[in-house]
Amino acid sequence: MANQTAAAIDENAIAPDTGKPMTKTETWRFMIGFIIFGVMWMMSGTIGSNVLFPERFNGLNIGQPEAILAAMNSVGSIFALFSNLVFGALSDHCHSRFGKRTPFIVLGGFICGCAFWSTSVATTLPMIVASWCVLQIGLNCMLAPAVAVLSDRIPLNKRGTLSAFYGGGATAGQSIGTIIGTQFLSNPVPGFIIGTVSWLLTGILAVIIWPREKSAALDEGEQSEKLNLKSLLLMFVPPTKNCRDFYLALFGRLLLIFGYFCINGYQLYILEKYIGLPVAEAGAVLSSMSVVIMVVSLVASLTSGAISDKIGRRKPIILVATIMMCIGIALPWLLKSVIGMYGFALLAGLGYGIYSSVDQALNVDVLPDKENAGKDLGILNIANTIGQILGPIVTSAIVVATGSYFMAFPISIVLIAVDYVFIMLIKNAK
């Protein structure tokens, strides 16, 4: 009878850390925690990098604003690239009594808050770049272990839904951050204070809301693995076995993020310098666009994640997202107007919301080794980092070379379209 009961339990419903199905209360706590975590970290960063920092750079007189923004994001993303991998690997091997992910998540939020404020008061290019680099270290100290929670603690049959809450929260947070930032374009200090406080609270709120992570402390008499130079270096070695799908997901994600950030990070400048709006009107339009993006992407994320779990497939969802994003980016390219930008907000926001709903779930599905989930997800998140490096560099180069944002749009569309070719080639995820 016991064997029949055990057999009746769907293995896909078992939480990896407890060996038991998740209760409804635990599921709701993870849902709420993931969406708040996604909203807060993305909102905090967007207040600065997408709105208040670009406008502040217009008046610093230390160089071309686009070049300052590109330098800040590009150099900072290099630090993000390595710190994501480092903190993911370190959290895999952490033996804290608070759990192996929790200490990093809390610490990362505090680092981000301090570095964000430092960036907001810096008046020289080196100080701006240095402060933003520290923020990227803190962000990835928090982000890499938090994403690994999907692999550590979430059952397969709920992974798409929980990924959607995280992705939907991050997408909504980007819109909320833009809305908040645009309210303080003429007086940025309160906006910077809001961003700083939000960063400080992001990690600690997430770990309070989630069910408590079990202790990773060693039992009495149990010895941790000995760390020497060889074993330390092996912690950071990328997967080499059964990893074809892993690298296809990596390059597919890289192309989509690369393409999206060719446009996404320059919305304010596009409204001002491509569409031709004055600062105040550009800020108002950007705020309205952000409301549209927030609503459609949040609805799309939460519904698409549940659909993905229901049908047990990720690829069809990503195909729909890719088509939506390409059409959305084409609209302001073909219709150089505010209407075109609202079309971008509606369709690209909808597509990115759909994509975000299954992105992390797909990444967890293709992990070659669950024991190194933090490190391997850190490597997959490098796609985000490199994409965010290349996007601003390419768009900035286009503007410098042509004096216009016109060619950034078709390049973005091609990159996003090619992304699906890599996703389609993945074999072990439907």
Joined tokens for residue 291: 């409301």
Contacts of 51 (CB under 8 A, 6+ apart): 177, 178, 181, 182, 185, 191, 268, 286
pLDDT digits (tens, 9 = 90+) for 186-230: 888 999 999 999 999 999 999 999 999 888 776 655 555 555 556
Residue 188, domain member (yes or no):
yes
pLDDT digits (tens, 9 = 90+) for 96-155: 888 889 999 999 999 999 999 998 888 888 898 899 999 999 999 998 889 888 888 888
Joined tokens for residue 311: 């049908």
Residue 7, domain member (yes or no):
no
C-alpha to C-alpha distance for 383 and 115, rounded to whole angstroms: 23
The Cα diameter of the chain in Å comes to 77
Mean per-residue pLDDT of the chain:
84
What does the pLDDT average to over 357-370? 75
Residue 187, domain member (yes or no):
yes
Q: Which residues pair with 14 in a beta bridge?
A: 21
Residue 429, domain member (yes or no):
no
DSSP character string of 179-203: HHHHTTSSS-HHHHHHHHHHHHHHH
Segments forming the whole domain that contains residue 126 = 22-215+236-424
pLDDT (0 to 100) of residue 7: 45
pLDDT band at 1 (very low <50, low <70, confident <90, very high): very low
CATH code of the domain in which 83 resides: 1.20.1250.20
Residue 177, domain member (yes or no):
yes
pLDDT (0 to 100) of residue 2: 43
CB 300 within 8 A of CB 353: yes
C-alpha to C-alpha distance for 331 and 263, rounded to whole angstroms: 12
- pLDDT over 90, % of the chain: 27
pLDDT (0 to 100) of residue 115: 94
Q: Which residues pair with 21 in a beta bridge?
A: 14
C-alpha to C-alpha distance for 392 and 67, rounded to whole angstroms: 9
pLDDT (0 to 100) of residue 234: 63
C-alpha to C-alpha distance for 319 and 317, rounded to whole angstroms: 5
State CA 244 to chain mean position distance.
Answer: 23
C-alpha to C-alpha distance for 326 and 303, rounded to whole angstroms: 21
C-alpha to C-alpha distance for 305 and 399, rounded to whole angstroms: 37
Ramachandran angles phi, psi of 14, nearest 5°: -90, 130
pLDDT band at 60 (very low <50, low <70, confident <90, very high): confident
Instruction: Assess whether pLDDT exceeds 90 at residue 331.
Output: yes
What does the pLDDT average to over 156-169? 81
C-alpha to C-alpha distance for 40 and 46, rounded to whole angstroms: 10
pLDDT band at 330 (very low <50, low <70, confident <90, very high): very high
pLDDT band at 235 (very low <50, low <70, confident <90, very high): low
Q: What is the CA radius of gyration of the chain?
A: 21
Residue 108, domain member (yes or no):
yes
**What total number of domains does the chain contain?**
1
pLDDT (0 to 100) of residue 302: 75
Residue 181, domain member (yes or no):
yes
CB 355 within 8 A of CB 322: yes
pLDDT band at 332 (very low <50, low <70, confident <90, very high): very high
Residue 267, domain member (yes or no):
yes
